[in-house]
Amino acid sequence: MAAVEIRALHKRFGKVEAVKDLSFDVEAGRVTGFLGPNGAGKSTTLRALLGLVRPTSGTATFGGQRYDELEHPSSQVGAVLEDASFHPGRTGRNHLRVLAAAGEHPVSRVDEVLDAVGLNDAADRRVKGYSMGMRQRLAIAAALLGDPGVLVLDEPTNGLDPPGISWMRGILREQAAQGRAVLVSSHLLAEVAQSVDDVVIIAKGELRGRGTLAEVLGGDDGPATEVRSRDPEKLAHALESRGLRVERDGDVLLVPGATPEQVGEIAAEEQVAVLGLAPRMRSLEAAFFALTEETT
Amino acid sequence: MSALLRAELLKLRTTRTFIALTAAALGLSLLLITLIALLQDDWVEQDVRELFTGDFTGLFILLLGVTGMAGEWRHRTITSTVLAAPNRLRLLAAKTIAYAVAGAVISLLVTLAIMAVGTTILSVRDLPTLGIADLTDGLWRNLVVSAFLGAFGVCIGGLVRSQIAAIVGLLLLTFAIEPTLLAVAPHIGQFGPTSGAPNGVLELEAFGDDTDILSPAVALLVLLGWLGLVFAGAATLLQRRDLV
Ligand SMILES: Nc1ncnc2c1ncn2[C@@H]1O[C@H](COP(=O)(O)OP(=O)(O)OP(=O)(O)O)[C@@H](O)[C@H]1O
Ligand SMILES: [Mg+2]
């Protein structure tokens, strides 16, 4: 049983069909990127999952249980929604104390999560004086309060600066490494490409692809990797001798059909120093555009 | 349920609204009571009784309830609140009870303060005062009406959602609609939620005419009826609503 199960989910707002017959799973111990352009239906799907929006038909559950059927929702699921709002006149710490009271979590958790997100110094200031990044940290702290097994985040990097984005990625990886299921939405592929294991891609409310990043966005010839090395000739030779095709572009080799992990390991075996190694982002973006383009 | 109630009471205590409204209610009521007790010369016991029940605290409590609920939309905290308490019926119930408690607490503070100050001034002036039994009787009546108004405000906030619209509507009801009805059609006005029925519980005689005032027991039932009505309406809306 998957941590999150979306089954034939359909949501109509008046005439707008925000989500159409959407199904996918989110597994524990992995970060799942939920990707799609603006207006694709990401927020609607996540809000349906969290019991905030009623599905027109279909279900969105945590291992079969609707959010509002969960025994202790905040101990099972942590959520960070788009532009998280707090009462401006309440301090960050008091906001967490209220949530701890509602979720029956020990007050000591408040200090622990404030620590975890690095908000200790600002905890006793009113939220109206918080920066965007501090609000986002407070939202994460609130989600972590009940030590839940599932995290649902809607565009959590919106409005964050590069260090903030990198901090957020670290949190997501860390949570998944501890065995939690992490579902994170974004309209920017590049922002999540480095931190997700799986992707679910939607556009116009419909599923356009799901699987691992390489499976979904590798294009027809699978994943491709760009590698820069100190000895490109030797590396190219080694790759070709293992049956891989290599395109040369100066120092940079492009290896269609191989993942960065494969290329890295071959380089290590051959003891060639690797200076740069990355999935071919341009093809990722291109595949993403192709998938989310208006086809229907 | 008790966890949600604790959370709502904690919410109340952690913003300035509650303190500010309590201070305003206390200050205004004390000022009023002092002036009347000092300046008015003809006193009978019923005047003293009315002095201790007919103050403005109720209006502040009503506003506290409205901002407590409508404020969830105004500050867009309703999603976080519903995430913490996905059973929206229980959430509304907890909030309603919390503001009934808050109303009673404010009323307790204000009533004890004005009774102490009023009684002191009147006895210094050698005017009639109330015995402890009459004071206690007035106190519980105030508490009942105040608890109702706090709860009623929450449900109105849940029905109307727009804080400004809810406040303007309630001010109109309190200062224009109900007084007009009480004056021109008291047989209808006596059932009103902000003056008519509360007057019945408090045994206040509208315009010195005691023909059109509900008995306390009936008035109490009318208040409960109002509360049931607005609670059911607010609960239905809250449960249907998509929070986007
Ligand atoms: N309350 C609503 N009433 C009417 N239409 C709505 C409502 N909420 C969302 N929609 C519509 O549903 C569609 C999906 O919106 P949604 O917010 O889920 O997209 P999204 O993928 O989260 O987009 P973004 O990346 O911009 O956040 C859009 O066409 C939007 O206009
Ligand atoms: Mg969105």
Residue indicated by tokens 């906030």: B157
pLDDT greater than 60 at residue B207: no
- Phi-psi domain of B126 (left: phi exceeds 0; alpha: psi -120 through 50; beta: other): left
Greatest extent of chain B over all pairs of C-alpha atoms, in Å: 63
Average pLDDT over residues B43-58: 80
ipTM: 0.89
Strands A150-154 and A181-186: parallel
Per-residue CA distances from B193 to A57, B31, B107, B177, B238 (Å): 41, 26, 17, 11, 22
Q: What's the confidence (pLDDT) of residue B182?
A: 87
Contact across the interface for B83 and A98, Cβ inside 8 Å: no
Closest alpha carbon within chain B to A51: B86
pLDDT of residue A290: 77
User: E strands along A27-167, which residues?
Assistant: 31-35, 57-61, 77-80, 150-154
pLDDT confidence of residue A189: 83
Nearest CA to ligand 1 atom 12: A18
Say how many Å lie between the first and final Cα of chain B, rounded. Answer: 25
Q: Give nearest CA residue, ligand 1 atom 26.
A: A38
Element holding A182 (H helix, E strand): strand A181-186
Give the pLDDT band of residue B62 (cuts 50, 70, 90). very high
Q: Which whole number is the average pLDDT over B219-223?
A: 94
Which pLDDT score, from 0 to 100, does residue B54 have? 64
Kindly determine whether residue A101 and residue B71, on different chains, have CB atoms separated by under 8 Å: no
What pLDDT digit, counting tens, does each position of B119-148 carry?
Answer: 999 999 988 888 888 899 889 999 999 999
Say what the pLDDT of residue A122 is. 94
- For B149-185, the pLDDT digits (tens) are 999 999 999 999 899 999 999 999 999 999 999 888 8
Ligand 1 pocket test, pick from A42, A56, A202, A292 with the greatest ligand atom count within 8 Å of Cβ, gives: A42
CA pair distance B47, B129, nearest whole angstrom: 10
Report how far residue B230's alpha carbon sits from residue B194's, in angstroms, rounded to the nearest whole number. 13
DSSP state of A230: S
Using the Cβ of A201 and the Cβ atoms of chain B, whether some distance falls under 8 Å is answered with no
pTM of the model: 0.87
A169-200 burial, b at 16+ Cβ within 10 Å, e below that, comes to bebbbebbeeebbbbbbbbebebbbebbebbb
Q: At what angle do helices B16-39 and B57-74 cross, to 10 degrees?
A: 160
- Residue of B54, B94, B65 lying closest to B208 (CA atoms): B54
Q: Is the CB of A186 under 6 A from ligand 1?
A: no
CB A104, CB B92: distance < 8 Å:
no
Identify which ligand lies nearest to the alpha carbon of A16. 1
| Model confidence at A220: pLDDT above 60 | no
* A265: number of Cβ within 10 Å: 12
Single out the residue of A52, A203, A19, A6 nearest to residue B244, CA to CA.
A52
- Written as six digits, the tokens of B106 are 């404010």
Instruction: Measure the CA–CA gap between A178 and A170, rounded to whole angstroms.
Output: 12
- pLDDT score at A9: 97
Give CA–CA dist A19/A45, Å, rounded: 7
Q: Which domains does chain A have, with CATH numbers?
A: 4-217 (3.40.50.300), 224-280 (3.30.70.100)
Beta pairing class for A4-13 and A57-61: antiparallel
Q: Calculate the CA A76 to chain-centre distance.
A: 18
Sheet holding A16-26, edge to edge: A16-26, A4-13, A57-61
Question: With 90 as the cut, is the pLDDT of residue B106 above it?
Answer: yes
To which residue do tokens 């029940």 refer?
Answer: B53
Say how many CA atoms lie within 13 Å of B191 toward its Cβ.
6
Q: Does B125 touch chain A (CB under 8 A)?
A: no
Instruction: Check CB contact under 8 Å for B244 and A91.
Output: no
